[in-house]
Amino acid sequence: MGSPAPTVKSLNSVYSLNVEAQTQRYDRLSRKFADIYGAKPDFIARAPGRVNIIGEHIDYCGFPVFPMAIAPDMLIAVHANGTDRVRISNVNTEKYPARDFRTAEIFEIDSKVHEWSNYFKCGYRGLFEHIGRSGGNGFDALLDGTVPAGGGLSSSAAFVCATQLAVQRVNGINLTQVELASIAADAERYVGVNSGGMDQTASIMGQQGSALFIEFDPALKATPVKLPESNPPFVFVIANTLVVSDKHVTAPVCYNLRVVETRIGALILASHLGVADHRACKDADPLTFKVAMDEYFATQDTAGSDTVQMWIDHLSAMLHASNAAFGSHPDGYTREQMAAALDMTPDALSAAVHEDRFPVRAQRFKLLQRAQHAFSEALRVVKFRQICQSGDTRLNYCTALGDLMNCSQDSCRDLFECSCPEIDELCALARRAGSFGSRLTGAGWGGCTVHLVSRDKVESVKQVLVSEYYAKKFPNMTAAELDNALFATAPGCGACYYE
């Protein structure tokens, strides 16, 4: 049935670094809560951000990804107030003004309005719709988030997940981690963002010391994968471009457009493979590259086959099939060309991929490049896990894993076109300073980069990034701002309650 979110009594169970600073932060949050609401919080719900080590923009294609939870997080201090009102405040009152709702009003979300409390409403509404209730108990909440918004570390997922934890405990609900992750992924659609589920799963189910190999099809499954030991050990350095990529604002031409391109690509690829009329493809809503691939190989005798090698063989075959299916349109398709390829009208095609819920703006749709990225990136994820679990002491783990990360960045930049000049610059600087692998992480178009660095070179890599990037582009940054933008991290704990 799965496990519920854990409750911890000590922050040593949550953070591996800077525990004393975190203890002071929790204490400040509790004191400020008492100042605002006149009572102590009953508990604090906590959900972390995540960094995706490899596997970008393929979760919504049905393919596995390889993220880890990190220390930056969202905290929500909560106290049941015995009324029908939910009052929410933020420690950053200037940027995020307090809100007061009746419980029934929280279901009303205008996705066209960019309002911070909408993400709180997403978590609230998603939870109650899942259990079939129209509302719950009133409570007071104070939020403190350290995941940078628009930084590619899933601040919105941390917000929604922490909200769900807070709401369910106040209302005596105790869903499993798998249920919470699935509900949170679906809930972001209320603000017009089409989420694949990786961010929420990593936030809810993260484990200290391990990354997660997350699979979405045929069912959500998160497998902890311990990162290999090397000499010297390696860590991941996160460097924020400080270019804000707001999915809510840019979705029609960036994130949601890529989702629609891969969905239409899956429809055309299934037709090319001769499986479009198979029940598995007809029943899939939406059809993904993973479903089309699996159906194509469904009759293959896999008895006794090595699972990893089967993944590699199937994904490699799909790369060739994609070239055949989309190669006649290297510069992209018009809507009319895509519809004609499927013997549909453009309006019917838009309906088939639910474009009414997630509108996009594009003259041409680059299906060839998006398919090439999706299948090759999935292949890199499988190989990354294979290397981590190989136990091959002769292997230079840093070089092998770093090479895959570098190839991922090339694909994100050239095929999926979700990089930007600042991401490219940070990756180039870090590699020259000693990073084995550097790539964007998160949706891209700004946000953060992740770098695989041996522990003995962390400070030298950071110094190069400070002097060659931050000092030149952001000369007035404070030390605290720089610490938030550039830091080393290891796999961290997932969502939990602190009492």
Contacts of 436 (CB under 8 A, 6+ apart): 234, 398, 399, 401, 402, 403, 405, 452, 453, 454
Catalytically annotated residue among 59, 73, 199, 246: 199
Contacts of 158 (CB under 8 A, 6+ apart): 47, 48, 49, 72, 73, 74, 145, 147, 203
* Sheet strands (E) in 146-278: 210-215, 221-226, 234-240
* 275 CA to centre of own chain: 30
Contacts of 179 (CB under 8 A, 6+ apart): 2, 130
Helix axes 367-388, 289-296, angle to 10 degrees: 80
For residue 98, give both structure tokens.
């307090």
Q: Give bridge partners of residue 90 from the DSSP assignment.
A: 143
**Annotation marks residue 199 as catalytic:** yes
- Pairing mode of beta strands 85-90, 139-145: parallel
Q: Cβ atoms within 10 A of the Cβ of 5, count? A: 23
For residue 337, give both structure tokens.
């060309």
Active site residues: 199
